């Protein structure tokens, strides 16, 4: 191999993620564009192109209006930005619920057009047959149990799960069904801490918590939330920066300079060099 054509970096794959069960925790974040993916890639095991893009990037009130075309567009951008982390793309509302065949056609299109390694879908017990159908046909599937944002309209909003015995049983059944169907990992969102720990102990697939428990096999957050880009974030988010404040300060300084004609200055303009 010549110096001009170095060997490509091998992306993290499904066997690598499965092998982390009970081992070093998986580091996962959302990504929606190439520059962000480039920054996150060296530090993360999984980059999730989440349907949260609808709310975070497009300003939608929830994830319901997100389309397959939107997910593909953002998935392509993330794949261009990263080279190491596994890239997983969410299947949006309405792209997999009707039938396993519908799910396969949309999943195949997402993988083919983005080059991503896997898809993620929200996992009521009724979806187990769909997961099995996809896995049997070579589509790696990450499941998602607990608080399911695509079900927010039916459930009256974004509400934590597992506070009653019926809810606990339902979430456990969803996770067991997804695990038995062949999901290689399971996102566990917005559930009681002890339930997340129990769930992690009963499934073979690694669990990835968000608003769950440190006992999960990994953690994920929405990147703009943890970077402090919004005024409000869910309780389970830890802000690791205040990019909103930094951005506002930078924009104000720029606006002040423009109005005072301090920008552009001598270092930001071109001059003709005369012979």
Give the burial string for 174-190 (b: 16+ CB within 10 Å, else e). Answer: bbbbbbebbbbbbbbbb
Long-range (24+ apart) CB contacts under 8 A made by 153-160 are 153/62, 153/64, 158/190, 158/234, 159/190, 160/190, 160/191, 160/192, 160/211
List all residues 6 or more positions away from 212 whose beta carbon is below 8 Å from its beta carbon: 146, 188, 189, 190, 191, 193, 196, 236
Contact assessment for residue 125 and residue 84, using Cβ atoms and an 8 Å cutoff: no
Cβ contacts of residue 4 below 8 Å, gap of 6+? none
SS3 190: coil
46-49 vs 86-90, strand pairing mode? parallel
Tell me, yes or no, if 248 is annotated catalytic. no
- Report strand pairing: 218-221 vs 86-90: unpaired
Q: Which of 113, 122, 165, 189 is catalytic?
A: 189
Sign of torsion, CA 217 210 183 116? negative
- Computed over its alpha carbons, how large is the radius of gyration of the chain? 21
Chain centroid to Cα 229, Å, comes to 17
Query: What's the full length of the chain, in residues?
Result: 275
| Residue whose C-alpha is closest to residue 179's, from 257, 102, 123 | 123
Which residues are identified as catalytic? 189
């Amino acid at each position: 191999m010549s110096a001009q054509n170095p060997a490509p970096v091998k992306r993290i794959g499904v066997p690598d993620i499965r092998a982390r069960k009970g081992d070093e925790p998986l580091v996962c974040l959302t990504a929606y564009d190439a520059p962000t993916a480039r920054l996150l890639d060296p530090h993360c095991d999984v980059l999730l192109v989440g349907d949260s893009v609808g709310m975070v990037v497009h300003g939608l009130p929830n994830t319901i209006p997100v389309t397959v075309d939107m997910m593909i567009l953002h998935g392509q951008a993330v794949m261009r930005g990263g080279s190491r982390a596994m890239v997983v793309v969410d299947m949006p509302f309405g792209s997999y619920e009707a039938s396993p065949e519908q799910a396969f056609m949309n999943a195949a299109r997402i993988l083919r057009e983005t080059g991503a390694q896997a898809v993620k879908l929200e996992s009521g017990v009724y979806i187990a047959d769909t997961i099995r159908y996809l896995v049997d046909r070579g589509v790696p599937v990450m499941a998602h149990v607990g608080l399911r944002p695509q079900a927010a309209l039916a459930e009256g909003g974004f509400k934590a799960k597992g506070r009653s015995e019926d809810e606990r049983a339902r979430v456990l059944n969803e996770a067991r069904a997804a695990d038995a169907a062949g999901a290689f990992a399971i996102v566990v969102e917005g559930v009681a801490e002890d339930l997340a720990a129990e769930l992690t102990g009963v499934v073979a697939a690694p669990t990835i918590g968000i608003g769950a428990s440190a006992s999960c096999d990994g953690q994920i957050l929405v990147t703009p939330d943890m970077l402090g880009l919004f005024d409000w974030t869910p309780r389970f988010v830890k802000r690791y920066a205040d990019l909103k404040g930094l951005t506002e300060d930078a924009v104000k300084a720029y606006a002040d300079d423009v109005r005072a004609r301090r920008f552009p200055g001598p270092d930001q303009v071109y001059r003709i060099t005369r012979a």
